[in-house]
Amino acid sequence: MESVLPRYGDRYGINNFLSMKRDPLEFLVSAHGQCGESVSMKCGPYRLVSISKPHHIRHVLKDRSEIYTKKTAGYKGMVGYLGNGLLTNPGGSEWRANSKLLRPLFWPKRIDNTDGIITYWVREYRKEISASALNNEPINFTSLFRRLTLSILCDIMFGLTEKTAINSISSDIDTCIHVAFAKLYDPFYWVKLSNISLEKRFQEARKRLREFSLVLLEHVPVKHAGTELGAYMQSILKGSGRSRTQCRDEVVTFLQAGHETSSTALNAIFYRVFSDRSLQVSLQQSIDQLPASKRYSLDNVDLVNQCIWESFRFDPSTWAFDRYAAQDDIICGEIPVEKGSFVVISPYVSHRLFSGFSDQENFNPQANFQYVGDLDRSEYIPFSVGPRICPGATMAHKEIRETLIGMLDGFDYVDANTDELRFKPSITLKLSGDLTCRPVIREASKKKNAITTKAVII
Ligand code: HEM
């Protein structure tokens, strides 16, 4: 039965608009806190309908996805930086053709072959942690995760293994995302004098990123045993009859969508681990006891996976996304939506306020993920649901699991700066500053090493 939605904020949407521009996440949380699970609000020129119940989410993202497109202000804003790749395409036949072409890249049989590549890169970056531990120095994890996720992505998807080229582009991606967000949420972006130099930096960073994407398309991919994804990606893009610009946009999209979200997710989970000493110790014990056969298992209910699932739930990288209603609709016969409205879906809000998790308001991996088999897919949406679900979810989970295992095995972490940081919304849900911590070689592994060395000497 159709119901009248509670309305939030001022009638003409001016205050709403300004509050949303100031802090979009706080604005959403407060709207739902006041009005409940679904809320309608005027926000500047737009009518927003924010929903959080699983069956409503399923209706919009899956059952009636053809009428809810990505023709929203947010996605249009990102076209200026990403171009017309899979992520920003509004929908319809062009998106379907692109999706059909690119999604097979992520089929399990291909992604399962990438474990060795991920382990290789985690070991490679672990060397920086060993060096810091030996020199008794803190390490900047935000920078390390940015480079690590980009290295994994460039290797798996494009067969590029050259660390210098990869590192040089990482800060350009960061600049582009920072400015894309500012343009989206700062109504005065174009009139602030201080933004002249920022805009110039953005243009330069975008140019380098586009050039780098063309390099990725043209270089000869390194082939690893068991995986030839890099060559495959090049051949399907170049053999698809698409223009160079279209191919370039797809590459830029994968670089951004695949790297930014994963490195943000790594920051989030390590933030929780560094903030809670007992969680760190329990994770180390769990990793010590993990049988080799389960190392890469993404569905095993062990503490490593529980922490990852919980981090995706509680601190979701993609904290909100939206859809444009291309025609009038009534969601599940309950929520009227006028043509032209934007429907907002926030994993952050629905995971915390309106889901059925046993301890939904707290970060509690073991309570919230005792088993995962019966999880309602529209209740837990860190990667969205429906035809536009994230194609990189398995790859992201794999790299986060391997990084947790690789970085916690053998090291303790002390003096983290977690007290100075908080989560704040950008295009993704980021920490307010770089996450730093001092690694210390674990006593247990010193002993393990000593025993091994002794055995060798004998
Ligand atoms: C923790 C890591 C990640 C998170 C939280 C995440 C989250 C998401 C979400 C929520 C969407 C849907 C957005 C919407 O429907 O409006 C999405 C789409 C997408 N993601 Fe991810 N993602 C992650 C990693 C990756 C990786 C590793 C890749 C590629 C290598 C990737 C590539 C994409 C692409 C291309 C789309 C657009 C799909 C389409 O619209 O058809 N993502 N992601």
Confidence of residue 413 (pLDDT cuts 50, 70, 90): very high
> Is the CB of 145 inside a 6 Å radius of any atom of ligand 1?
no
Q: How far apart are CA 280 and CA 272, in angstroms?
A: 9
Q: What is the pLDDT of residues 215-255, one digit of tens each?
A: 888 877 776 655 566 777 777 777 778 888 988 999 999 99
Q: Tell me: the pLDDT tens digits for 112-141?
A: 888 889 999 999 999 999 999 999 999 999
* Sequence-ordered list of residues with C-beta below 8 angstroms from that of 381, at least 6 positions apart, any chain: 57, 61, 345, 347, 350, 351
**Whether residue 86 has its Cβ less than 6 Å from ligand 1:** yes
Closest C-alpha to ligand 1, atom 7: 383
Structural contact between residues 436 and 141, judged by C-beta atoms closer than 8 angstroms:
yes
User: How close is the Cα of 383 to the center of ligand 1, in Å?
Assistant: 6
CA–CA separation, 233 vs 104, rounded Å?
Answer: 10
pLDDT of residue 454: 35
Confidence of residue 430 (pLDDT cuts 50, 70, 90): very high
In short, whether 118's Cβ falls inside 6 Å of ligand 1 is no
DSSP 3-state assignment of 413?
Answer: strand
Question: Which phi-psi region, left, alpha or beta, contains residue 333 (left: φ > 0; alpha: ψ -120 to 50)?
Answer: left
Kindly state the average pLDDT of the residues 379-399.
Answer: 95
Q: H or E segment at 130?
A: helix 115-135
Question: Ligand 1 pocket, 88 CB below 6 A?
Answer: no
Which pLDDT belongs to residue 449? Answer: 46
- Mean pLDDT for 394-423 is 96
Instruction: With beta carbons less than 8 A apart as the criterion, state whether 295 and 405 touch.
Output: yes
Residue 2 pLDDT: 56
- Ligand 1 neighbourhood includes 321 CB (under 6 angstroms): yes
Among the atoms of ligand 1, which is closest to the Cα of residue 102?
Answer: 35
3-state secondary structure of 445: helix
pLDDT above 70 as % of the chain: 93
| 353 band by pLDDT with thresholds 50, 70 and 90 | confident
Residue in the block written with tokens 């933030």? 271
Length of the chain equals 458
Residue 446 has pLDDT above 70, yes or no: no
Residue 90 CA to ligand 1 centre (angstroms) = 15
Q: How much distance in Å is there from the Cα of 294 to the middle of ligand 1? A: 26
- pLDDT tens for 92-109 read 999 999 999 889 888 887
151-155, 313-317, 325-329: range with lowest mean pLDDT: 151-155
Using a CB cutoff of 8 Å and minimum separation of 24, what contacts does 231-234 make? 231/159, 232/105, 232/110, 233/105, 233/157, 233/158, 234/158
In short, whether 253's Cβ falls inside 6 Å of ligand 1 is yes
446: Cβ–Cβ under 8 A, 6 or more apart, which residues? none
pLDDT at 458: 25
Q: How far apart are the first and last CA of the chain?
A: 79
| Contact predicate 237/217, CB 8 Å | yes
| Cβ of residue 435 lying under 6 Å from some atom of ligand 1 | no
Cβ–ligand 1 distance for 74 under 6 Å, the answer no
Confirm or reject: Cβ of 318 under 6 Å from ligand 1. Answer: yes
* Band of residue 450 on the pLDDT scale cut at 50, 70, 90: very low
- At the topology level of CATH, where does 92-316+389-457 sit? Cytochrome p450 (1.10.630)
Measured in angstroms, how far is the CA atom of residue 362 from the centroid of ligand 1? 25
CA of 29 to the centre of ligand 1 (A): 23
Q: What is the pTM of this model?
A: 0.93
Average pLDDT, the chain: 89
Q: 223 CA distance to ligand 1 centroid (A)?
A: 25
C-beta of 57 in contact with ligand 1 (< 6 A): no
Instruction: Give residue 245's identity as a one-letter amino acid code.
Output: T
Which DSSP helix (H) or strand (E) runs through 365? helix 365-368
> Is 391 a pocket residue for ligand 1 (Cβ < 6 Å)?
yes
Instruction: Decide if pLDDT at 167 tops 90.
Output: no
* pLDDT band, very low/low/confident/very high, at 203 (cuts 50, 70, 90): very high
**Ligand 1 proximity of 99 Cβ (cutoff 6 Å):** yes
Query: What pLDDT does 374 receive?
Result: 59
Nearest residue (CA) to ligand 1, atom 20: 390
Query: Is the C-beta atom of 390 inside 6 A of ligand 1?
Result: yes
DSSP secondary structure string for all residues of 289-324: T--GGGTT-SS--SHHHHHHHHHHHHS-SS--EEEE
Q: Which of 18-27, 157-166, 309-318, 429-438 bottoms out in mean pLDDT, i.e. has the lowest?
A: 157-166
User: Which is the closest atom of ligand 1 to the Cα of 265?
Assistant: 1
Please choose from 261, 309, 324 the residue to mutate so as to test ligand 1's pocket, defined by most ligand atoms within 8 A of CB: 261
pLDDT band at residue 3 using 50, 70 and 90 as cut-offs: low
Looking at residues 1-6, what average pLDDT do you find?
A: 71
Atom of ligand 1 nearest to the CA of 87: 37
| Ligand 1 center from residue 61 Cα (angstroms) | 14
Query: What does the domain layout of the chain look like in residue ranges?
Result: 92-316+389-457
Calpha distance 325→337 (Å, rounded): 7
Most confident by average pLDDT, 47-61, 285-299, 342-356: 47-61
